[in-house]
Chain A
Amino acid sequence: DAGVIQSPRHEVTEMGQEVTLRCKPISGHDYLFWYRQTMMRGLELLIYFNNNVPIDDSGMPEDRFSAKMPNASFSTLKIQPSEPRDSAVYFCASSAGLAGLTDTQYFGPGTRLTVL
């Protein structure tokens, strides 16, 4: 298996622009997670999906952030408009079951976002 795939790997944009991050989970995994990692706040869960349905988006920082999962093999995280404080590494992860219980989360390589 190719593992979790994310694109782009690096994104540099200007404040106010729309940013779309993409993720393809491991085939057969029912759960998909979006995380943000910064030096100040560490690894934060933004939102997670179960069978393409958003279950918990309490970690989404503001209305500027939105996430979708139109099918089992694709998810997007969109920031509109972007701000410099959104600069971070965004990870997508997937698991076969609910990771907080018994299953391993597999992380993608991440997207390093820089907002100027």
Chain B
Amino acid sequence: QQPVQSPQAVILREGEDAVINCSSSKALYSVHWYRQKHGEAPVFLMILLKGGEQKGHEKISASFNEKKQQSSLYLTASQLSYSGTYFCGTGATNDYKLSFGAGTTVTVRA
């Protein structure tokens, strides 16, 4: 079952903040975040693991609430380059394939 992402779309001006949420009905082991620009492949942003470990290499932060099976991605002081569709991929405790949400389209305007 796919995780649910919200909102579906958000429009920002440069420098503004946004939060993208991802929730699952399954007990999660990990949450992965990707960004996809139009016509390109999804690019890895961050992985959050059960127990609190977090791996990422961009200036975008995220949180993982294991009890609620929810994750949030925080876009802080957004830049034009942040535009794209953000997907969360969830890895369930008893099913280690990634299931991807429908995506959140972020548009950052000058």
Write the residues of chain A forming the contact surface with B, with a CB cutoff of 8 angstroms: 42-45, 48, 56, 91, 98-102, 104-110
Contact = CB atoms under 8 A, between A and B. Distances in A.
Nearest to A3: B41
B66 to A, nearest CB: 15
Interface stretch (B9-17, B70-78, B93-101): B93-101
Nearest to B40: A109
Best-buried of B29, B43, B100 by chain A (most CB within 10 Å): B100
B49 interface: yes
Given A42-B103, A43-B103, A108-B41, 19 more contacts: A42-B100, A42-B102, A45-B98, A45-B99, A56-B97, A91-B41, A91-B42, A99-B32, A100-B30, A100-B92, A100-B95, A100-B96, A100-B98, A101-B91, A102-B47, A102-B49, A104-B32, A107-B34, A107-B41
A101 B29 CA distance: 6
Interface of B is mostly: strand
A44 B47 CA distance: 19
Contacts of A45: 97-99
A107 to B, nearest CB: 4
B50 to A, nearest CB: 10
28 contacts: A42-B2, A42-B100, A42-B103, A43-B42, A43-B100, A43-B103, A44-B100, A45-B97, A45-B99, A48-B97, A99-B89, A99-B91, A99-B97, A100-B30, A100-B96, A101-B29, A101-B30, A101-B91, A102-B47, A102-B49, A104-B44, A104-B47, A105-B44, A106-B44, A107-B42, A107-B43, A109-B40, A110-B41
